Amino acid sequence: MTRGFFGYIKREMKRVRNVLRYILLIFGVLITLFAILSGAERYGGGIEGIIKNSPNALPWIVFIVLVIISWKWKIVGGIGLIIFGTYMMFFFNFSLIPTLIGLLIVASGIVFVLSK
């Protein structure tokens, strides 16, 4: 009985981890695009404005890299996501929306670490 229960838990954790990977990847790409495009008009718009505003997207590019790392190495990527989410909360002085996003990133990192 317990073997079946733990097998079920293991299968469900694998399913949750796989769904979470795709959600985080889609979220990272959308936030990165928003970070690149949101301030481009301040620099004159167009390709030149996007290139000048691209440093604003560096933290989110790091986030995407961490999600890709967690695809291959679950524990290392999970710890990286926990650190990234915690840093994000401190960086934004625990404002409401960034703190909620940071907590979700930390929670997803915990799922990656525990699902190994």
User: How confident is the model over 43-90, as pLDDT tens digits?
Assistant: 887 888 888 888 888 999 999 999 999 989 999 999 999 999 999 999
User: Quick check: 85 and 71 in contact, CB under 8 A?
Assistant: no
Helix (H, G, I), strand (E, B) or coil at 69: helix
pLDDT digits (tens, 9 = 90+) for 89-102: 998 888 888 899 99
What pLDDT was estimated at residue 25? 94
What pLDDT was estimated at residue 2? 55
Stretch among 4-8, 34-38, 110-114 having the lowest mean pLDDT: 4-8
Q: What is the pTM of this model?
A: 0.84
What pLDDT was estimated at residue 109? 93
Residue 76 corresponds to which amino acid? V
- How far, in Å, CA of 11 to CA of 64, rounded? 25
User: Quick check: 29 and 60 in contact, CB under 8 A?
Assistant: no
Q: Between 103 and 3, where is the model more confident?
A: 103
